[in-house]
Structure 1
Amino acid sequence: MKCIIGIVVIFGLLAAQTSGVALTNRGQRWPWFRTKSGLPVEDCGATYDILSVQFSSCSNIPCVMPRGTDVTVVAEFSATGASALPSLKHEVYFVLNYVKTKATVTPAACEGAYCPLQGDIGLRFTAALHVSSLLPALRGTLHWELRNDNKDVLLCYEILITIR
Structure 2
Amino acid sequence: MFSIIVLALLSLSSLSNGFRISNCGSPAGSYSRILISGCDDLNNVCVLHRGTNVSMEIDFQTTENVVDVKTVVHGTILVVPIRFPVPHPDACTDPNSGLSCPLNKEGQYHYKSTFPVHTKYPAVSLTVKWELQDENGNDIVCFELPAKIR
Moved segments of 4+, more than 3 Å: none
Among 93, 97, 114, the residue aligned to 2:78: 97
Q: CA RMSD in A?
A: 2.6
**Residue matched to 2:67:** 86
| Distance across 2 between alignment mates of 1:150 and 1:99 | 24
**Residue matched to 2:23:** 43
Structure with the larger helix share: 1
Q: 1:80 to 1:45 in 2, by over 3 A?
A: closer
Residues 119-152 of structure 1 show CA distances to partners (whole Å, capped at 9, x for unaligned) of xxx4111111222222221222101111111111
1:46-61 to 2 correspondence within 5 Å? Answer: 46-47=26-27, 48-60=29-41, 61=44
Unmatched tracts of structure 1, length 5 or more: 1-33
SS at match of 2:115: strand
Q: Find the structure with the greater CA-based Rg.
A: 1
Q: CA deviation at 1:81?
A: 5.0
Q: Give aligned pairs, total.
A: 122
TM-score by length of 2: 0.69
Q: Which has the higher contact order (CA 8 A, sep 6+)?
A: 2
**Residue matched to 2:53:** 70
Q: CA deviation at 1:79?
A: 2.0
Unmatched tracts of structure 2, length 5 or more: 1-15, 102-107
| Distance across 2 between alignment mates of 1:95 and 1:126 | 23
Residues 33-66 of structure 1 show CA distances to partners (whole Å, capped at 9, x for unaligned) of x9xxxx7411111122221111112132411101
Residues 10-39 of structure 1 show CA distances to partners (whole Å, capped at 9, x for unaligned) of xxxxxxxxxxxxxxxxxxxxxxxx9xxxx7
SS at match of 1:111: coil
